[in-house]
């Protein structure tokens, strides 16, 4: 396991720690001289006593620890360790057009897609980059590519049906591909019933191939179709199959929710690798706890002097 800092230039602030220590002892020495000057022998005895001396040392140690933690937090420390990980950055694009309300997959195609996307995300190792897109007649970036698991979970949970009609697979592929520009290995997971009625599948294929993006497609629904508010919705298997095969991705036709989850697991490329995890938030939490401990010690000390 290795530790490195994203902004090591801020570590020069560490000189403040010995400076703080020096100021503390100078201040304590000045206080002693003042007490002797005013002949407050009771106070002299307390200052020379082990109890107050130890409390000053304790306060100094805690203050130095808080300062160290804050300096390290600014420098953004990151742990680097070996673990099972995925070297691929993913964007999950979920069709939220009205055709996805069909109930040929319980509870609906859309709900099954959301639940499975969440399950897929949970199965990915820590440190895997992922983004979320919803699409119908247009595409919406619900969450840019991030390694923050809480943000991804929130984005998937908040997905809802679009008020815009149509299904534009080409725009979904374009939006998802653009989110993956800075990654070397990139993969789109497109979950839809494939009812393409805006744009062309050829445009989607050309765009993905030009950017070296693998598009995995999952067709959700049954070949018999499912009932929606506007009638029976069937699955356009050919469009989704063509998109996957022509971009080097995988194609799955799923008719049950458990099949959808299994398909997503097959797409993830989990292998031994190096994982990076920033620990700034943990250091800040520890510094806050130490601050309250020091506050309690200072108040306890003040109560000793009526």
Token pair recorded at residue 35: 């007490």
On whether the CB atoms of residues 175 and 139 are closer than 8 A, the answer is yes
Higher-confidence residue: 34 or 281?
281
Residues in the chain: 306
- Which residues contact residue 34 at a Cβ distance below 8 angstroms, ignoring those fewer than 6 apart? none
The label of the residue with tokens 């055709």 reads 99
Mean pLDDT of the chain: 81
Q: Which has the minimum average pLDDT: 35-39, 121-125, 127-131, 144-148? A: 35-39
pLDDT at 30 (0 to 100): 75
**Predicted pLDDT at 82:** 65
β-pair type (130-135, 139-146): antiparallel
The pLDDT of residue 1 is above 60: yes
Is residue 145 very low, low, confident or very high in pLDDT (cuts 50, 70, 90)? very high
Adjacent-strand bridge partners of 275? 81
Full 3-state SS string of 75-87: CCEEEEEEEEEEC
Backbone angles phi, psi at 269, to 5 degrees: -100, 90
Residue 210 binned pLDDT confidence (cut-offs 50, 70, 90): very high
CA neighbours within 13 Å on the CB side: how many for 160?
Answer: 2
Distance of CA 124 to CAs 186, 197, 262, Å? Answer: 15, 33, 13
Range name among 29-38, 77-86, 180-189, 247-256 with the lowest pLDDT average: 29-38
CATH code, residues 88-268: 3.40.50.410
- For 6-45, what is each residue's pLDDT tens digit? 888 989 999 988 898 888 778 777 766 665 555 554 555 5
pLDDT at 270 over 70: no
Adjacent-strand bridge partners of 272: 84
Tens digits of per-residue pLDDT, 183-208? 888 999 999 887 676 667 888 999 99
Domain parsing of the chain, residue ranges:
2-79+277-302, 88-268
* Confidence check: pLDDT of 50 > 50: no
pTM: 0.63
d(CA 20, CA 66): 12
């Amino acid at each position: 396991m290795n530790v490195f800092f994203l902004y090591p230039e801020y570590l020069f602030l560490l000189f403040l720690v010995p400076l703080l220590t020096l100021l503390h002892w100078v201040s304590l020495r000045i206080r002693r001289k003042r007490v002797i000057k005013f002949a407050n022998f009771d106070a002299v005895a307390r200052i020379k006593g082990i109890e107050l001396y130890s409390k000053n040392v304790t306060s100094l140690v805690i203050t130095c620890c808080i300062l160290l933690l804050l300096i390290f937090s600014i420098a953004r420390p990151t742990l680097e360790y070996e673990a099972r990980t995925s070297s691929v950055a993913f964007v999950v694009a979920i069709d939220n057009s009205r055709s996805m309300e069909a109930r040929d997959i319980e509870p609906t195609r859309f709900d099954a897609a959301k639940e499975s996307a969440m399950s897929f995300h949970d199965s990915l190792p820590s440190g895997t980059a992922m983004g979320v897109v919803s699409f119908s007649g247009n595409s919406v970036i619900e969450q840019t590519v991030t390694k923050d698991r809480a943000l991804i979970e929130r984005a998937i949970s908040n997905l809802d049906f679009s008020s815009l009609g149509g299904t534009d697979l080409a725009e979904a592929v374009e939006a998802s591909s653009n989110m993956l520009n800075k990654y070397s290995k990139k993969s789109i997971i497109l979950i839809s019933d494939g009812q393409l009625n805006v744009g062309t599948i050829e445009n989607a294929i050309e765009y993905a191939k030009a950017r070296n993006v693998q598009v995995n497609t999952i067709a959700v629904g049954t070949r018999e179709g499912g009932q929606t508010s506007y009638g029976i919705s069937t699955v356009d298997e050919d469009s989704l199959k063509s998109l996957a095969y022509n971009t080097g991705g995988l194609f799955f036709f799923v008719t049950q929710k458990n099949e959808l989850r299994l398909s997503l697991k097959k797409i993830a490329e989990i292998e031994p690798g190096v994982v990076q995890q920033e620990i700034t938030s943990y250091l800040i939490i520890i510094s806050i706890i130490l601050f309250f401990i020091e506050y309690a010690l200072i108040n306890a000390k003040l109560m000793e002097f009526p």
